[in-house]
Amino acid sequence: MGTETYHPDVQRVVDELNSHRQRFVELCRSLSAEELAKPVPQSTWIVRDFIAHLATIDPTVAVIFRNIRDGTNERMPTSGGERFDIDRWNDAQVEARRDWPLEEVLEEAAKNREELLTVLASLTDEDLGKPFPFEGDSKRPPADITLLQYLRGWCKHDVMHAVDMLRALPERRTPEIEAWFDDRVVQGYQKAMNS
């Protein structure tokens, strides 16, 4: 990772973010082609789609963080005046990468993460207290929270989707993996998204 200096609260987020990404990448590289192609129960995605999702979402998140930092009311890009549909956008991103080699997807993820970390390094105490406009998605309602509150949950994004991936690969769940998954926020996310 880069040599950025972060606000102390952001540093804690980044430390957790980096730890989860390292474990996530190790898990991804340990999977066979057959495992990567398995359909995930309670999802329209296969295992590798969650990897592609995490590889592609950081630029979108960076735009949101920059907009909050800069105090703009800009929303995500729209098409024909329609509200940005994160679920449709995610589906298009993962579909476009289904035939990519895993290492190419992981390289994209690393590049996008570096750019996002630069945005995180620019956040101030004032920025962290600003409202985060979580508009909800297909499974979760909108919520009024601060950017710092969002960051504290968002930094668990990799482990949240590792849980999703291993729904298709229950034999991969070891005591070490179970300890990684044992997090109140991760469990709350799984309950909201899969009930």
The domain that holds 109 is classified in CATH as: 1.20.120.450
Give domain status of residue 142, yes or no. Answer: yes
**Rounded Cα distance, 81 and 171, in Å:** 46
Q: How many domains does the chain have?
A: 1
The beta-carbon contacts of 127-133 under 8 Å, at least 24 apart in sequence, are 127/68, 127/69, 128/7, 128/9, 128/10, 130/68, 130/69, 130/71, 131/68, 132/68, 133/64, 133/68, 133/75
Q: pLDDT digit string (tens) for 137-194?
A: 667 677 788 999 999 999 999 999 999 999 999 999 999 999 999 999 999 888 888 7
Give domain status of residue 1, yes or no. Answer: no
Q: pLDDT digit string (tens) for 92-135?
A: 999 999 999 999 999 999 999 999 999 999 999 999 999 987 77
Of 186, 157, 170, nearest to 40 (Cα)?
170
**Domain range for residue 98?**
8-193
